[in-house]
Chains A and B, each alone.
Chain A
Amino acid sequence: MRCRLLAVLLLISCAAFGQKRGYFIFSGTIQDLETKAPLEGASVLFSGLSIGARTDSLGHFSVTLPSRSYQIVFRSLGYKFKTGRVDLKENTRMSVFLEKAEQILDEVVISTEKSDANVNRTIMGVEKMSSKTLKKLPNLMGEADVIRSIMLLPGVSTVGEGASGFNVRGGNVDQNLVLLDGVPLFNTSHLFGFFTGFNADMVQDLSLYKGGIPSMYGGRASSVLDVRVKEGNFDQWGIQGGVGPISSRLLFDGPLVKGKTSLILGARGSISDFYLGYFPNPALQKSKADFYDVNFKLTHKLNENQRISLSGYVSHDGFKFASDTLYSWQTQSISFKHNALWGRLAHNFTAFVSDYRYGIEGMKKGLEFDWKPSIKQQTVREDLSLDLKGKGRLDFGAEFNLYQNDAGTFRPTSSSSEVNEFPMQVENSREMGIYVGHSVPIGKRISLDYGLRYAYFQLLGPLQTFQYRLGTPRTLNSLTDTLRFASSDVIQTYGGFEPRVSMAVKLDSSTSVKFGFNRMQQFMHLLSNTMAISPVDIWKNSNAYLPQQVADQFSMGVFKNFTNAQNAVFEASAEFYYKRLANVIDYVDGAALYLNPTVETELVVGKGRAYGAEFFLKKARGLRLTGWVSYTYARSFRQVGATDGQFAANFGKEFPANFDMPHNFKFVLNNRLTKRISFNANFTYTSGRPITYPNGRYKIYAFNDLYDYSYANGVFPRPGLTPTTYQYGGSNNTFLTSTTIRPLLDGYSSPSFTLRNQERIPFYMRLDIGFTVEPKEGKRWQGSWNFSVYNILSRQNAYSIFFRSSTGLINQARTYQLSVLGAAIPSVTYNFKF
């Protein structure tokens, strides 16, 4: 019934695709005059009309207008505007090339959009960042970094320095859909999380959807980070690169067939293994910390309205620190796209295959092994967008995903290895999504975006699953039966509608109020009970014990833009949200998640809620100074009650999520000192993350056989002598005095913990600064320098406070604080382009 309803909606949509009398289609592309790169978000405005058109990611626009003459203005941020005239008597197409604005002092920090887009756009909770902005932010060790950069935006946080992934509006790390040119990534990190797993040079721009998520996106519960990769230049070859302390980069792009086919190829590799050999420390010499990533994109224009592209991405990490264990993770993907503009209908077809492998390799002599879980994803999707002739735009489409989730068989890797093979299963599943969304203006003041997505998931055979005794929590002892499914069997299905609604009410030309609701579902889950996720944490499909995670978000916001006497543009906003989460995964205390065939006995399912307010003030344009300041108050809680099938966590009481950090203050500044030199700074303050503190300590008297024996046999107590020292005549004198030999009763000392996450580690504060020296104008070789100091305050921010149990005589459980990157880290990077 649900599918039929969607089919009807799609038919209605297609029926709307007809030509109305007296109206004609005006379409075209807007590109950069120099590089011929398509310009997304460029606007096309018509005389006498309140509506306009905006270009899509390929620089295409299409709008249906009444037949008459129009004066047209083409605008894009950072470019000189261009005017034109059209006499619309038939369907008309136009290619427009915009010239970059000359060395102006106006600098837009965080937008590829019109400066009033935040007010006019219907949806909220969206942040966009250009590659230019990305590279101007001060960074760690000279590496421009996507995920570190989005951490500077309101509503985005992390559990700690160097932790992999990010948290958006109270959601878990695995609830973010990170798309690299449309391909989802299961791991976004290099070096455990210090750096993002893809090259910032390849990034055209990125959009982070925290709320108001369009219906075309699905599969994750909290947010979408959509990163678009650049296309190669269609006219001339260019090379750019950079040399930094951690990695070096090189990027080529240019035409294979001039004006028709282009290629862009970028590669980045760490040079840290090179250093290691020079360290006198044997532990470091035995260590390994390498990574690389390669992207390419081959684009061919079939004609002015159609193009195809083939993209590839490879990322690899290997890390070993003076031990016999090598951690590794790698992603490989290849995707094909076909984009076309047929009249008022824009078509985007995508097919891709991705393979994410991760795991551990043991190299200890006689115990050599490897454990390499993997996820293979095969996807086809079709996204269509229809211009409704002044009545908005209809987006609709479908996607089909196949997953092969291999939990990783533990295998000996040499003939002398003594370990046995331990097989784990491969889970097959498919996930389908179909959606429709309609953007429509209602009168002059109100605009509405509404849509519906239906997602459907099937867990497929062949698979062996386990059943547990009803009415008791799942444990190994309650396991009652093993079920074996054949390859044709559908083991478990989940599905549901995901409504998405956004509405903006414009109060005046610079002020709007917006409301939104969206529901997201997630069928793949990352299992991690460590402080931060690790690259070898396993992904798990939904099954009989793990229903899909569902997130409902309600949000509202007020947006206001204003300018001052110097024509500087300020954007201000206040957004409020409430999110409720169903079926979030938690863990029994001390859960063992790796190589566990009955891992469901370690998992519990609960609910969550998050709410917050985000206040944002951005100086989007200014003569010299641009930047933003934001304050976020955000809370996130979880609750796991006991049910027939599981134990409660935290006695069933609600507790703050591991990343619940209520106060976030961020400040980003970009000051152009001269035409070539700019100064950048960012400052971050966040509340400490929650932690479970001990409420006492206890001894386990498991090692007192000798003590008991000695007392029982009269060995203790007994008289003895002990040296005593006294000073006389300027010299130390030692003699023996009487004492009683009475050893201490001692044991294994452990902290006793109380309710989960009731306290916090100290707050986090960091200031980074940087200078960028741009290349001289007019030179073929364009070299630029980036000098930065990360954590210039040298503040030793607490990464964690932890409590160790203790053994040994008279040792007690103790408290420690760990600081990561607790010193100022300067770096210099040279970038070039020719």
Chain B
Amino acid sequence: MRRILAFVGLLGLLSCETEITDFKTDNLSDAVVVYGEMTNLAGPYTVRLNFTSGYSPFDPTQFQGQSIPGADVRIVEESGSAIVLKEIQKGMYQTPASFQGQVGKKYRLKIMTPDGLDIASSWQVLSAPTELKTLNSKYVNAEKVEDMYFEMQASLQDTRGSDDYYFIKRQDFIQFLTTCPTPPAPPAPVPICYSKCWQAVQNTQPILVDDAFLDGREIKVPLAAIPYDDFTEWFVQMEVYHVDKATHQYWKRQEDQRTLGGGIFDKVPAQIIGNLTCLNNPDRQVLGYFMVAGKTKKRVLVDRYNGIPGASYQKLVNLVNFKKLRYQDSPLWDCRQAAWIPYNIGLNLPVY
């Protein structure tokens, strides 16, 4: 036992990571946080302005920073023409729907806040978009239903001779089924039963890919698998942004910060500054990013019903009943009203 303990200790398993839940700071930062993006796809494009919030993970009042309303926000083209963004919500600014980015052109974001901060991004070139070469799924069988899954596969065909960087968003749309109540006795009319809706849990996890050591090759995009925990439809939507090195590095540093383990290979923490600066007060930090990139979208259906071995399907049916995934205890006629489903977007998928 002593030897085992000693070796476990050696591997660092006697180490322990504990969350410090009472660590709290008031908002000691006066940094402005900007995030916006524009692409070659049709707008409108949105820019959000906020302040930082206090570092208090469990304080709902500090969930997000205060928004900055009343700012003058513009996207400037290299020719000098500017598009003014309209404030449609507090701190949320949007371009006219008619405005669309053009590949090869340079753009920058210019902001004048109500308290006189003159903020600008660096010039960003809108790069040519890159499409996913493949996007598909493959069912993987197993003995236990909990171990069955759909492997997701996606790849990009990299262009030889250039350094290419990709920022990818993944958004999943999952169909869910509800149970309608028992119909009223005749002659009362039977209401229409809407039991198939879509859930679209917001995914804020970027996927970063680059062609380092893989120049000109087909690059695999790492994608998390889809569980076989129901036989409803599941769509995976991928948005590929062909970004520049600086943008990729910005997100890479954010991801490094997210995956810290506190160990010896962690980089020393430091503020992650993007491509925005305050021109009339350089000491005033501006956080966030104005991302300009060529973008493509692709959506694929993962069919969780057809082509599944019968025995496996039966095991799934048992699991669905056992876990009451049809919400028999909360029957309702219209699944759109199921407020307990996070990001229940109703009967229809967003337009693709």
Interfacial residues, chain A to chain B (CB-CB below 8 A): 141, 160, 162-164, 191-194, 245-246, 272, 275, 284, 287, 289, 321, 369, 410, 418-420, 422, 476, 529-534, 587, 589-592, 595, 651, 658, 691-710, 713, 715, 718-723, 734, 736, 739-741, 743-748, 750-754, 756, 796, 799-810, 812-823, 825-828
Q: A699-B50, A743-B343 are in contact. Are A750 and B257 (CB under 8 A)?
A: yes
Residues of A contacting B336 with CB < 8 Å? Answer: 718, 720
Residues of B contacting A802 with CB < 8 Å? Answer: 260-262, 266, 269
Contact of A812 (CB < 8 Å), options: B2, B57, B268, B332: B57
Pairs across A and B, CB under 8 Å, 17 listed: A245-B6, A530-B265, A532-B264, A534-B264, A590-B252, A693-B25, A699-B33, A702-B169, A702-B204, A736-B330, A746-B202, A802-B262, A807-B258, A815-B55, A816-B17, A822-B14, A825-B14
Closest to A745 in B: B64
Question: Chain B 41-76 against A: per-residue CB contact (8 Å), 1 yes, 0 no?
Answer: 000001010101111011000111100000000000
Verify B20–A534 contact, CB threshold 8 A: no
Contact of A720 (CB < 8 Å), options: B5, B37, B212, B344: B344
Contact of B217 (CB < 8 Å), options: A420, A590, A812: A420
Verify A590–B20 contact, CB threshold 8 A: no
Q: A801-B20, A815-B23, A825-B14 are in contact. Are A419 and B264 (CB under 8 A)?
A: no
Interface presence of B337 (CB below 8 A): yes
Contact of B35 (CB < 8 Å), options: A702, A810, A817: A702
Verify B262–A808 contact, CB threshold 8 A: no
Residues of B contacting A191 with CB < 8 Å? Answer: 10
Interface presence of B322 (CB below 8 A): no
Residues of B contacting A828 with CB < 8 Å? Answer: 2
Verify B202–A804 contact, CB threshold 8 A: no
Contact of B206 (CB < 8 Å), options: A702, A704, A721, A817: A702
B6, B12, B58, B266 — most chain A CB neighbours (10 Å): B6
Interface presence of B98 (CB below 8 A): no
- 6 more contacts with CB within 8 A, not counting A706-B202, A818-B261, are A420-B213, A589-B273, A702-B206, A715-B345, A814-B57, A826-B5
Residues of A contacting B6 with CB < 8 Å? Answer: 141, 245-246, 825-827
Residues of A contacting B46 with CB < 8 Å? Answer: 704, 708
Query: Interface size of B by Cβ–Cβ distance < 8 Å?
Result: 100
Residues of A contacting B64 with CB < 8 Å? Answer: 699, 745, 747
Instruction: Name the distance in Å between B286's Cβ and chain A's nearest Cβ.
Output: 11
Residues of A contacting B269 with CB < 8 Å? Answer: 691-692, 751, 753, 802-803
Contact of A753 (CB < 8 Å), options: B204, B263, B270, B332: B270
Instruction: Name the distance in Å between B69's Cβ and chain A's nearest Cβ.
Output: 15
Contact of B287 (CB < 8 Å), options: A410, A698, A720, A736: A698
Verify A590–B200 contact, CB threshold 8 A: no
Within 8 A of A (CB), among B252-293: 252-273, 283, 285, 287-289, 291
Describe B's contact surface by its main secondary structure: loop
CA distance A532 to B266 in the complex (A): 8
CA distance A529 to B265 in the complex (A): 9
CA distance A697 to B288 in the complex (A): 12
Q: A589-B272, A590-B249 are in contact. Are A722 and B339 (CB under 8 A)?
A: yes
Verify A287–B268 contact, CB threshold 8 A: no
Q: A590-B253, A821-B9, A825-B5 are in contact. Are A800 and B263 (CB under 8 A)?
A: yes
Residues of B contacting A746 with CB < 8 Å? Answer: 202, 204
Question: Chain B 191-226 against A: per-residue CB contact (8 Å), 1 yes, 0 no?
Answer: 000000000111111100000111111100000000
Verify A818–B263 contact, CB threshold 8 A: yes
Instruction: Name the distance in Å between A638's Cβ and chain B's nearest Cβ.
Output: 12
Residues of A contacting B264 with CB < 8 Å? Answer: 160, 162-164, 192-193, 530-534
CA distance A702 to B274 in the complex (A): 13
Verify A272–B10 contact, CB threshold 8 A: yes
Closest to A741 in B: B339
Closest to A747 in B: B204
CA distance A590 to B253 in the complex (A): 6
Verify B213–A369 contact, CB threshold 8 A: yes
Verify A809–B287 contact, CB threshold 8 A: no
Residues of B contacting A369 with CB < 8 Å? Answer: 213
CA distance A710 to B201 in the complex (A): 13
Interface presence of B29 (CB below 8 A): yes
CA distance A753 to B16 in the complex (A): 25
CA distance A430 to B58 in the complex (A): 58
CA distance A691 to B262 in the complex (A): 12
Interface presence of B346 (CB below 8 A): yes
Residues of A contacting B63 with CB < 8 Å? Answer: 744, 810, 812
Verify B288–A698 contact, CB threshold 8 A: yes
Within 8 A of A (CB), among B1-26: 2-7, 9-12, 14-20, 23, 25
Verify A420–B169 contact, CB threshold 8 A: no
CA distance A658 to B270 in the complex (A): 13
Interface presence of B171 (CB below 8 A): yes
Verify A734–B7 contact, CB threshold 8 A: no
Instruction: Name the distance in Å between A718's Cβ and chain B's nearest Cβ.
Output: 7
Verify A800–B204 contact, CB threshold 8 A: no
CA distance A481 to B219 in the complex (A): 32
Verify B12–A696 contact, CB threshold 8 A: no
B3, B212, B215 — most chain A CB neighbours (10 Å): B3
Instruction: Name the distance in Å between A237's Cβ and chain B's nearest Cβ.
Output: 31
Q: A715-B345, A736-B332 are in contact. Are A818 and B267 (CB under 8 A)?
A: no
